[in-house]
Amino acid sequence: MGTLGSLRRRAVATAAAVGALALVVGCGGSDDSATGGGKKDGKVTITMGMYGVMGIKETGLLEQYEKENPNVDIKAEIAGDEQTYYTALQTRLAAGKGLKDIQGIEIGRAKEITETQADKFADFSKVEGTDHFLPWKESQISTKDGKVLGLGTDIGPMAVCYRKDYFEKAGLPTDREEVAKLWAGDWNKYVEVGRTFKKGFKDGDVAYMDAASGLFNAMVYGYPEQYYDENGELIYETNPAVKEAWNLSADAAEEGLTAKLRQFQPGWDPGLANGTFATAVCPAWMLSHISEKAGDANKGKWDVAKAPKGANWGGSFLGVVEQSPVKEEAKKLVAWLTAPEQQAHIFKEIGNIPSSRTALDSPEVKNAKSEYFSGAPIGQIFGAAAQEIPDKQVLGRKDGTIKDTFSQGLALIEQGDATREEAWKTTGERIEKAVG
C-alpha cells in the first residue's frame, strides 16, 4: 500500500481556516447565492466544503471523477479546523446562502444536523447502491422519519500507537502482540503499564502518553451511550462510563504520566516531532497525522498495537444541500465517493478506515500494512477493532462541544490549575453554558 502521507491537518491557524471558508467558488457564485454550483453550457459545476483531511481531494478521487465525467467540474474547499468550519456552516445554513452543494459533516455534529437542519439536506434513503455501510454508521445520520442526510466516509476504530525504542529503554516488550497483551481488555492496565514505563525509562524527559483527553475519549466511546441517552437527555453527570473515564484519566494526569498536551492543539505536533511521549491512543485516521508531524526521522520507531477495548472515535459524512441547483448530480458524486472501491482507495493511500462493510472485507484493506509504523498490519488491526465497536451508537446534539469541554477540563488537571473535583465542577458549568 502507499505510505501514509501528510494528513488530518486539524491544527491549522483559525485565521487561515476562516479565510478559506470566506471564499465561494464556481459558476460566478457569491455569498448571495444558495450554493456555488450550477449548470451552464452543458457543464455542471459542483462545489464541496470539507475540513481536515478526509482523503477525498488528497488522493486524486475528484480528478478521477472529472476524467470519467467530462461534463463535471468539481471545486472543493478544505478548512483545516473542523470547529471553525462547523461554525461557518451553521451561519450559512441559517442564512440559506453561501453554502456548498456538498458539505462534510463530522460525527459529533450529526445529531444536531438530523434534529435541527433536516430540511436543509437532501435525502439519500432511496439512492441505489448505498446499502453497503455498517448499519450503525447510517443510523447516525438518519432522522426519526427515515431520511438519510448523508453518506459515510470513514470511521474511527481505536488502537494504541507507541514508540518501540522508548518501550525498549523502559524494559517493556516491543513486539506489537506482546505489547497488546500488557493491557488486553482493560484501560486500567494501559495506565498501569504507564506506571511501569515511568519507573523504567531513565533516558531523558519522556512522558508515557500524550494527553489524558486521548485516554478519556477512547474509554467513553467504547460504550453505546456517552453524554446523552436515547431520549436526547444529558446523562454525562450520572453515566458511570463517563465518570470511570474521567477518574482514570485524572489518575494519569495527577501521576505525571502525560505530556500535558491536547491532541491537535498547539504543542502536540512539536511533541510528535521531538518525541516527548511514548504512546498515543490513535483512531485510524490519526496515523497519517502522526507520520507527517513525527517526520522521516522517526519512521520505523512507531508501531501500532491493539487497544484494550473496542471503540469508535470520529468519522465523517458527506451531505448534499437541498437547495443545490445540481442536487441530483451532487448526490451521484457523493454516492461514488463513498462507494466501497473509493473508500478502499482512500484507506490504501492514507489509512482512513472505511465505513463500508464491503470495503472492510476487501483485500486492499485486509492486507494493508504501514511502512511508517514498522510494517504494522493496520488493515487487520483496525479492521478487527471496527468489529468491536458497539452496534448501538447514541449521539446527542452537542456531542462535539461536550467532548471538547471535557478535554479542556482534563487539561486543567494536567497543568496543575485545578484538582479533579474542581475541574469536574468547572467542566459541568461550561457544558451547561454551552448547551443551554
Rounded Cα–Cα distance for residues 54 and 110 (Å) = 16
The Cα 174–Cα 164 span in angstroms is 5
Report how far Cα 395 is from the mean position of its chain's Cα atoms: 15
Cell 441547483: give the residue: 325
- Cα(162)–Cα(98) distance, integer angstroms: 43
**DSSP-assigned states of every residue in 382-400:** HHHHHHHS-S-----TTHH
Which CATH number among 3.90.1200.10, 3.40.50.1000, 3.40.190.10, 1.10.10.10 corresponds to the domain 14-155+314-352?
A: 3.40.190.10
**Closest of 378, 404, 349, 364 to residue 282, by C-alpha:** 378
pTM over 0.85? The answer is: no
pLDDT, one tens digit per residue, over 116-154 is 999 999 999 999 999 999 888 888 999 999 999 999 999
Strands 151-163 and 353-354: antiparallel
102: pLDDT strictly greater than 50 = yes
**Extents of the domains making up the chain:** 14-155+314-352, 156-312+370-435
pLDDT confidence tier of residue 169, bands split at 50, 70 and 90: very high
Structure confidence at residue 248 as a pLDDT band (50, 70, 90):
very high
End-to-end CA distance of the chain, in Å?
47
User: What mean pLDDT is reported for the chain?
Assistant: 89
Give CA–CA dist 379/366, Å, rounded: 5
pLDDT tens by residue, 316-351: 999 999 999 999 999 999 999 999 999 999 988 888
Question: Is there a common fold for 14-155+314-352 and 156-312+370-435?
Answer: yes
Q: Does domain 156-312+370-435 have CATH number 3.40.640.10?
A: no
Is the C-alpha dihedral spanning 63, 69, 71, 77 positive or negative? negative
Asked if 393 contacts 224 with a C-beta cutoff of 8 angstroms, the reply is: yes
Residue 70 has pLDDT above 50, yes or no: yes
| Rounded Cα–Cα distance for residues 288 and 291 (Å) | 5
Q: At residue 99, what is the residue type?
A: L
Residue 32: per-residue pLDDT:
55
Check: CB of residue 291 under 8 Å from CB of residue 2: no
- Whole-number Å distance between alpha carbons of 116 and 129: 27
DSSP 338-372: TSHHHHHHHHHHH-PEESBHHHHTSHHHHT--BTT
What's the CA gap between 35 and 343, in Å, rounded?
A: 26
